[in-house]
Amino acid sequence: MQVAGASRRASGLSARGLRRVRCVARTVADLEGREGPVEDRHVLEAVALRGAPVGPSTTGSW
């Protein structure tokens, strides 16, 4: 899962965020019927599904 590490560094994912990406990647692989290891394309799809960062806005209000 080299893509996951590269995605983490590129997007600034926390350890918790990386774990969530891995869980979503596993789900994507499962939905495809993949029983083996998660492939890079599953990780890339999971990162894409994250969309925009979630959290406090830069304007100071929720």
Per-residue pLDDT of the chain (62 residues; tens, 9 = 90+): 566 555 555 567 788 888 998 999 999 999 999 889 999 999 889 988 887 555 555 555 54
Rounded to 10 deg, the angle between the 15-31 and 40-50 helix axes is: 120
Rounded to 10 deg, the angle between the 40-50 and 2-11 helix axes is: 30
C-alpha dist (Å) from residue 44 to 32, 59, 62: 15, 30, 29
Two tokens, residue 27 = 């789900």
Distance of CA 60 to the CA centre of its chain: 26
